Structure 1
Amino acid sequence: MSTGDDRLDPDVRRFTEAVMRESARLRGAGARDLAEARAIAERVRAPWRAGGPAMAVTREVELACAVGALRLRLYLPAAPARPLPVLLYLHGGGWCMFSIDTHDRLMREYAAAAGIAVLGVDYALAPEHRFPVALEQIGEALAWLRASAPAFGIDPLRIALGGDSVGANMALATALRQRDAGTSAGLRALLLNYGGYDPVMPAGDRALLGAEGAMLTAAEMDGYWHDYLGPHDPARVPALAAPLRAALHGLPPALLVAAERDLLYGQSVELARRLWAAGGTAALRAYAGAAHSFLEAMSVAPLARRAIAESADWLRGRLFAGDEEDGGSDPAQAGESPEDAR
């Protein structure tokens, strides 16, 4: 199976074609229900999350929430000699697929490369649990993290929020909720990987980057928005669901990782512009030849490994700022200006 995009990085193409080919094989000719589709998605991703760095501590926690138990997974790359910063990470999957298992290696990679703790959140999936259930759970996970941080050797005043695809959407929405509630103390950074921030996508992007055969098609993204919101008018969507429509002042510094061969590429570019216009600090890093989900190709694609390493370096600069013993990068060198977009 070919993606039909001759501008993809060869190693990323290898990943995307393998994932789509195996997904098609497991689905077969018949329609699959949602439970089967989720199981197939987990199975297809399993080989790509194998390997990677070992953690000193990996611990699972369950929180009691209104819609049932919420599973969290905490990663510590080494036994902390002093409280570590932490990245609360939200997996992608269109609000209705994937889990902290599909993204296990990516979270371990961030923990090891940045020298920080990472907390993965296995939020409730749509369409069974539609907006804003997952956002409310993420808020509960953040509250638990702040309260429990000292017991795990984590600094509750050095927190980053991050995610990929719809996880980036909810990381940004969580930062907005924290800002509006006056509870954003300690939020130091946003790591936003190829996020989808609005259901309205330009016709040109839909045709050029979201056609059949792409890693993420326009039809798939439309379906994900429907699963998340239910029947809706795309022009009348709450700003916490479509944060491109929100007031974007007063947010932590953001790193936007954008894949240039991704349907959602333009939304990262537009979000960076709006963050700058609102007086915020934002770095836009666009990766030529990258498709949606390209970070999951880390086991075969140097491009994905480079993006993870660069993001980890940026996180270190933000989360260890002022820590002379750490030796992390100077955040002033992170390229946080409109000129960083390319």
Structure 2
Amino acid sequence: MTTPPAGRPHDRDDVEPGIRRFMQRMAEGYAAFPPLASLPLDEVRRITARVREQWGSGGPAMAAREDLQADGVRLRILRPADTVPLPVLVYVHGGGWTLFGLETHDRLMREYAARAGVAVLAVDYSLSPEAKYPRALDETVAAIDWLRTHGAAHGLDPERAAIGGDSAGANLAVASQLRLRGAGQRPLSAMLLNYGVYSDAASASWTRYDGPRYMLEAAEMQGFWHNYLDHDAQRRDPLVMPLLADLHGLPPAFVAIPECDILADGNRAMAAALRRHGVQVEMREYRGATHSFLEAVPVSPLADRALDEAAAWLRGIMAR
């Protein structure tokens, strides 16, 4: 998620051409700045947001957009139509709990809103390392509480609500449902999980897809864990590592797995664990896709297809 690589010069590149083009264009953007590793975190955040601007713009127009605060948490409501009440996708952005926000993921969230016919309630949670675990999780649950208490007044249907996220956002999506279940509250209706991080365990994909040819590197992911956690004992907490959790009673899940991602094995393991605990799972693997590939939708037919498949699944869940 820092500096994406340029493509490999020979013809055996295993990344889909549109996604490779996305990575190359981001690499060109980062080339205009000093190496990110040499910069303070605030500057890294500014640069990564600027480089991603072109991918957060364009795409579907919304009928309405509303920014608000709920118990100190910034939220954004994206409405694809004036129909009320609309079903809702609570969306939690990725970025290793450290980077990104509503603007970097605005296009992706509008794509879901338009394709699935749902409002999106986006959560702009506090970033690490300034806000360590469990702050981002607390704020995600607070957004769900706000939806259930106040959503109807904003034209949202809290009885038809799913949660979704990518990467660290998918981690928070699952953890939020575990937190609700543990508090005796009803989880939401569905989970839309894109290339999530559910464990820090190394695996074959961790080695195979590490390095500058792909989007997310192992050392970078370890750095994100270091930012998020206050101490290593938290690595045994199921709300930090959902693969350690008892997953029974969680809502149906759509699990999107890019083939060329260090987290691919962990996502397969999460899908299998959900099924073992009786959760309905729709798992889709995308050959030639990398971590963050959905953001490449302006140039990638594969990302376009993946968004269509997830949106169709979500529409079906919401229609029940």
Structure-2 change in CA distance of 1:96 and 1:29 (3 Å): closer
* Kept in 2: contact 1:3–1:213 (CA 8 A): yes
Residue number among 43, 46, 59 corresponding to 1:52 in the alignment: 59
Letter in 2 for 1:241: V
* Kept in 2: contact 1:3–1:215 (CA 8 A): no
Residue number among 11, 15, 31 corresponding to 2:18 in the alignment: 11
Q: Residues of 2 paired with 1:286 and 1:216: CA distance? A: 17
User: Matches of residues 22-33 of structure 1 in structure 2 within 5 Å?
Assistant: 22-28=29-35, 31-33=38-40
Letter in 1 for 2:307: I
The Cα shift of 1:24 comes to: 3.8
Structure-2 change in CA distance of 1:306 and 1:229 (3 Å): same
The Cα shift of 1:83 comes to: 1.6
The Cα shift of 1:214 comes to: 2.0
Q: Residues of 2 paired with 1:166 and 1:291: CA distance? A: 15
* Kept in 1: contact 2:206–2:263 (CA 8 A): no
Structure 1 residue 282 corresponds to structure 2 residue 281: yes
The number of equivalent residue pairs is 313
Structure 2 counterpart of 1:79: 82
Structure 1 counterpart of 2:99: 97
Which segments of 5 or more consecutive residues in structure 2 lack a partner in the other structure?
none
* Kept in 1: contact 2:56–2:106 (CA 8 A): yes
Structure 1 counterpart of 2:301: 302
* Kept in 1: contact 2:57–2:107 (CA 8 A): yes
Structure 1 counterpart of 2:69: 62
Structure 2 counterpart of 1:327: none
The Cα shift of 1:30 comes to: 7.5
Structure 1 residue 272 corresponds to structure 2 residue 271: yes
The Cα shift of 1:302 comes to: 1.1
The Cα shift of 1:190 comes to: 0.2
Structure 1 residue 232 corresponds to structure 2 residue 232: yes
SS at match of 2:65: strand
Structure 2 counterpart of 1:205: 205
User: In the TM superposition, what whole-angstrom CA distance separates every residue of 1:199-219 from its partner, at most 9, and x where no partner exists?
Assistant: 1222x3232111233210000
Structure 1 residue 2 corresponds to structure 2 residue 3: no
TM-score (norm. length: structure 1): 0.88
User: In the TM superposition, what whole-angstrom CA distance separates every residue of 1:258-312 from its partner, at most 9, and x where no partner exists?
Assistant: 1000111111111111111111101110001000000000111111111111101
The Cα shift of 1:164 comes to: 0.2
Structure 1 counterpart of 2:214: 214
Q: Residues of 1 paired with 2:186 and 2:62: CA distance? A: 29
The Cα shift of 1:128 comes to: 0.3
SS at match of 2:260: coil
Structure 2 counterpart of 1:120: 122
CA RMSD in angstroms, aligned pairs only: 1.5
Residue number among 142, 157, 160 corresponding to 1:155 in the alignment: 157
User: Matches of residues 317-336 of structure 1 in structure 2 within 5 Å?
Assistant: 317-321=316-320
Structure 2 counterpart of 1:193: 194
Structure-2 change in CA distance of 1:28 and 1:79 (3 Å): same
SS at match of 2:129: coil
* Kept in 2: contact 1:85–1:320 (CA 8 A): no
User: In the TM superposition, what whole-angstrom CA distance separates every residue of 1:98-155 from its partner, at most 9, and x where no partner exists?
Assistant: 0011000111110011111101000000000010001001111111111112112211
Q: Residues of 2 paired with 1:181 and 1:121: CA distance? A: 21
Structure 2 counterpart of 1:334: none
The Cα shift of 1:20 comes to: 2.8
* Kept in 2: contact 1:163–1:171 (CA 8 A): yes
Structure-2 change in CA distance of 1:233 and 1:218 (3 Å): farther
Letter in 1 for 2:80: P
The Cα shift of 1:9 comes to: 0.2
Q: Residues of 2 paired with 1:122 and 1:272: CA distance? A: 26
Moved more, 224-233 or 11-20: 224-233
SS at match of 2:290: coil
Letter in 2 for 1:295: L
Q: Residues of 2 paired with 1:30 and 1:242: CA distance? A: 27
Structure-2 change in CA distance of 1:181 and 1:233 (3 Å): closer
Q: Residues of 1 paired with 2:173 and 2:31: CA distance? A: 31
